[in-house]
């Protein structure tokens, strides 16, 4: 690789602060990437609970507010809370199945969901110090497998978006593919021929160009923009006092454990991308922020929160690992929660535009995992088996979401999450092959060496 090539695709992305203008643009990229995921959970739960359009809009604004505050705390750090790395926070999909079921339960509903979220957040704050001690069970073999699985489990989302979205008619229409292809081509060309600032904002440029093209051919739907208020302040307990029932609380506590497992893998992945060792203390602060955000979320009319995996790919792709970028992005989210019209405009970005950008970024997550696996003894047959089985387990919910439909409902946060399935599998197999079987393997290696 030539010196000029290295100049604009850094091996270790810069951690130093960017100029203010660049900081705002790169922060906006993070918001645009995660916005669809951030509003999806309140949309799904609001519809399941039978809320009106205005009430669903309020749920979305509440989610943006909590996500923005949690992102700032997670990235900047306040005392013993926050991992102090470029992390974006948002409502977790791990709880969607459980919450949809709760929404239809007599005597539970939305107030019961908020109560279970508060209780689960408190439970998470209690167990976070213990969960943070599991770092030693995440060697490069496990971490690389989990990160690869994160990228692969996200990739179908990117493909779905690129084809026009789940509700597209017809899905995969050439116009959707052309728009997605132009966004992807723009990002690739900027990374090939430009450097520095332009590479840092290549995703924003690609999505901006895609938005303009999509708008010019009628793909951007702004219906309802005029009815959205200019300013709306999120108030706590908007839907009434939370209620607390044992079964929903136990279900959400399990969800928090799964979120912790997923977040641990994501934090370790981000540590590899930003060239930082994630210590047990850092992990504890990060998990405490996850749990604290969920605790507060229940009072502010929203749901369990966790770090967003897709933004790890953006950190790797742009080469910007300064935590102040996501602090700025958190500020954008708070501003959007107060300005429904601005939030409406971002929500109108067509799925094809998001898909073109996400194909590159989600693929970068998987590529990072493969790179980390190179640090492990991947030539060993048992390690190869660990990677193969764990990646396969992680793809089960992606390939056939109904595969575990006959399993108990309390298992859904695990069985419906490819990341959780891959993580649990990699941890168990590493324990079986390399930790419990360590003495046997050492003896075998010594015998082989003597012969």
pTM of the model: 0.70
Residue 256 scores a pLDDT above 80: yes
| pLDDT band of 11, cuts 50, 70, 90 | very low
pLDDT of 102-120, one tens digit each? 776 777 788 889 999 999 9
Nearest to 94 by CA among 71, 112, 72, 117: 117
Among the ranges given (119-133, 258-272, 281-295, 420-434), the one the predictor scored with the smallest mean pLDDT: 258-272
The pLDDT value given to residue 449: 44
Domain boundaries, the chain: 18-445
Residue 243 burial class via C-beta count within 10 angstroms: exposed 0-12, middle 13-18, buried 19 and up: middle
Average pLDDT (193-220) is 82
The pLDDT value given to residue 240: 86
Residue 450 scores a pLDDT above 70: no
What the block records as the tokens of 47 is 């519809």
Residue 323 burial class via C-beta count within 10 angstroms: exposed 0-12, middle 13-18, buried 19 and up: buried
Query: Which of 92-96, 326-330, 353-357, 369-373 is modeled with the greatest confidence?
Result: 326-330
Average pLDDT (30-58) is 75
Is there a cis peptide before residue 39, judged by omega within 30 degrees of 0? Answer: no
Q: Assign 3-class secondary structure to 118-141.
A: HHHHHHHHHHHHHHHHHHHHCCHH
Residue 79 scores a pLDDT above 80: yes
Rounded to an integer, what distance in angstroms lies between the CA atom of residue 113 and that of residue 116?
Answer: 5
Residue 47 scores a pLDDT above 50: yes
């Amino acid at each position: 690789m030539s010196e000029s090539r290295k100049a604009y695709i850094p091996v270790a992305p810069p951690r130093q602060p960017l100029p203010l203008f660049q900081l705002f643009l790169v922060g906006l990229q993070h918001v645009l990437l995660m916005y669809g995921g951030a509003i999806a959970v309140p949309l799904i739960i609001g519809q399941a609970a039978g809320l009106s359009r205005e009430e669903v809009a309020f749920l979305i604004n509440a989610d943006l507010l909590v996500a923005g505050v949690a992102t700032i705390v997670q990235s900047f750090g306040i005392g013993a809370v926050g991992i102090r790395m470029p992390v974006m926070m948002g409502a977790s999909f791990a709880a969607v199945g459980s919450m949809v079921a709760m929404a239809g339960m007599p005597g539970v509903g939305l107030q019961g969901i908020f109560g279970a979220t508060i209780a689960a957040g408190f439970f998470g704050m209690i167990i976070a110090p213990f969960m943070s001690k599991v770092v030693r069970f995440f060697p490069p073999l496990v971490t690389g497998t989990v990160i690869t699985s994160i990228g692969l489990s996200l990739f179908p989302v990117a493909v779905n978006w690129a084809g026009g979205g789940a509700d597209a008619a017809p899905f995969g229409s050439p116009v959707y593919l052309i728009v997605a292809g132009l966004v992807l081509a723009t990002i690739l060309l900027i990374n090939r021929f430009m450097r520095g600032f332009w590479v840092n904002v290549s995703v924003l440029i690609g999505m901006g160009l895609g938005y303009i093209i999509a708008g010019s051919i009628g793909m951007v739907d702004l219906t309802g923009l005029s009815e959205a208020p200019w300013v709306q302040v999120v108030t706590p307990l908007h839907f009434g006092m939370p209620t607390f029932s044992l079964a929903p609380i136990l279900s959400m506590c399990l969800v928090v454990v799964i979120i912790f497992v997923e977040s641990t893998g994501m934090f370790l992945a981000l540590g590899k991308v930003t060239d930082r060792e994630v210590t047990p203390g850092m992990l504890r602060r990060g998990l405490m922020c996850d749990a604290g955000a969920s605790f507060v979320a229940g009072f502010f009319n929203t749901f369990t929160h966790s770090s967003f995996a897709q933004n790890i790919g953006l950190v790797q792709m742009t080469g910007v690992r300064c935590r102040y970028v996501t602090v700025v992005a958190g500020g954008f989210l708070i501003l959007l929660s107060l300005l429904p019209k601005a939030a409406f405009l971002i929500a109108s970005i067509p799925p094809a535009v998001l898909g073109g950008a996400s194909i590159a970024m989600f693929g970068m997550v998987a590529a990072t995992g493969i790179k980390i696996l190179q640090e492990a003894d991947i030539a060993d047959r048992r390690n190869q088996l660990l990677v193969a089985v764990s990646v396969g387990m992680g793809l089960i919910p992606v390939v056939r979401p109904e595969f575990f439909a006959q399993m108990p409902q309390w298992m859904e946060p695990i069985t419906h999450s490819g990341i959780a399935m891959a993580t649990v599998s990699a941890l168990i197999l590493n324990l079986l092959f390399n930790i419990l079987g360590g003495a046997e393997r050492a003896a075998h290696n010594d015998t082989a060496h003597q012969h």
